[in-house]
Copies of this chain bind each other. A is one copy, B any other.
Amino acid sequence: MLRVRLTLAFDGTRFHGWQIQETTGKQPRTVQGTVEEALKRIAGERIRVHGSGRTDAGVHALDQNAHFDAPESKANVPWQRALNALLPDDVRVTAAAAVAPDFHARHSSSSKTYAYSFWLNGRYVLPQRRHYTWRSGPLDVSAMEEASKRLVGTHDFAGFQNVGTEVGSTVRTVTDISRCVVDDLGATDHESVWRITADGFLKQMARNVFGLLAEVGRGKLAPRDADAVLATSERAPAPYPTAPARGLTLVRVRYE
């Protein structure tokens, strides 16, 4: 067996998220399922693809990482070219490389960075950006920065986790939340782009953090309200919204 690491970019708009669904009905279109279909056509057998983590329906990626084990008979396949020739144009392999057999896309990752695009103009969203940004209206950046500082560090993020997935610990370490420029994001000057980096993310944690930051930026919540959310043990019903998936992009998965 030969372990291959894939780096993938995708437009999440028409995908029902990363992960193949457990269902008895029609399988929804997922990124993982789409990549596995292409692999099967190349290898002639079913090959499981392991991602660095799930992304929700509508969430995009510039740098999702995944691995799979290819049979030795396929050792010389040029994976990037071969996969891109078969994949639909809303998912691309941006790099493919043989890796050590103990590389694991999820377990080996040390941190992830997500970016979020807020659309500042309250009157309309530019059609070309409608799948990639969320209309927040004008935002108070300094209030958002103050709230961000309260979230950076090692905390119990249970208050930012949507129900649905059982995890052991809800403690995560957020190393950075800041306004930024991501060259590959295609953001226009109508947008405010923020990023969050952590050693791991709970279910919808990134979207909940950006939902809270938007409310702070709009003046509907105070920066100190971030402390109150950190102090709660579950996602409370609606003191702030979960930011829509379309504004979120997985921009970096790091491996040590």
> Chain B residues with Cβ under 8 A from A62's Cβ?
126, 128
Q: Does A84 contact B (CB under 8 A)?
A: yes
> Chain B residues with Cβ under 8 A from A94's Cβ?
124
Among the 9-residue stretches A69-77, A138-146, A183-191, A222-230, the one with 4 or more Cβ atoms under 8 Å from chain B is: A183-191
Interface size class of A (residues with CB under 8 A): 20 to 34
Query: CA separation between A93 and B124, bound complex, in Å?
Result: 8
Q: Does A175 contact B (CB under 8 A)?
A: no
CB distance from A35 to the nearest CB of B (A): 13
Q: Does A207 contact B (CB under 8 A)?
A: no
Q: Residues 88-118 of chain A: 1 if any B CB is under 8 Å from the residue's CB, otherwise 0? A: 0111111000000000000000000000000
Copies per complex of this chain = 2
The listed residue (B84, B92, B129) touching A186 by CB distance below 8 A is B129
Q: Does A36 contact B (CB under 8 A)?
A: no
Find out whether the CB atom of B90 lies under 8 angstroms from the CB atom of A130. yes
The listed residue (B124, B130, B184, B188) touching A190 by CB distance below 8 A is B184
- Kindly report which residue of chain B lies nearest to residue A127, judged by CB atoms: B11
Q: Does A10 contact B (CB under 8 A)?
A: yes
> Chain B residues with Cβ under 8 A from A26's Cβ?
none
Q: Does A132 contact B (CB under 8 A)?
A: yes
Q: Does A50 contact B (CB under 8 A)?
A: no
The listed residue (B80, B91, B92, B126) touching A184 by CB distance below 8 A is B126
> Chain B residues with Cβ under 8 A from A84's Cβ?
123-124
Given known contacts A84-B124, A123-B80, A124-B94, is B130 in contact with A89 (CB within 8 Å)?
yes
Q: Does A214 contact B (CB under 8 A)?
A: no
Q: Does A60 contact B (CB under 8 A)?
A: yes
Query: CA separation between A176 and B16, bound complex, in Å?
Result: 45
Q: Does A221 contact B (CB under 8 A)?
A: no
Query: CA separation between A199 and B183, bound complex, in Å?
Result: 34
Find out whether the CB atom of B125 lies under 8 angstroms from the CB atom of A92. yes
> Chain B residues with Cβ under 8 A from A124's Cβ?
9, 80, 84, 92-94
> Chain B residues with Cβ under 8 A from A89's Cβ?
125, 127, 130
- Kindly report which residue of chain B lies nearest to residue A60, judged by CB atoms: B128
The listed residue (B11, B123, B188) touching A128 by CB distance below 8 A is B11
> Chain B residues with Cβ under 8 A from A132's Cβ?
128
> Chain B residues with Cβ under 8 A from A80's Cβ?
123-124
Binding site for B on A (CB under 8 A): 9-11, 60, 62, 80-81, 84, 89-94, 123-130, 132, 183-190
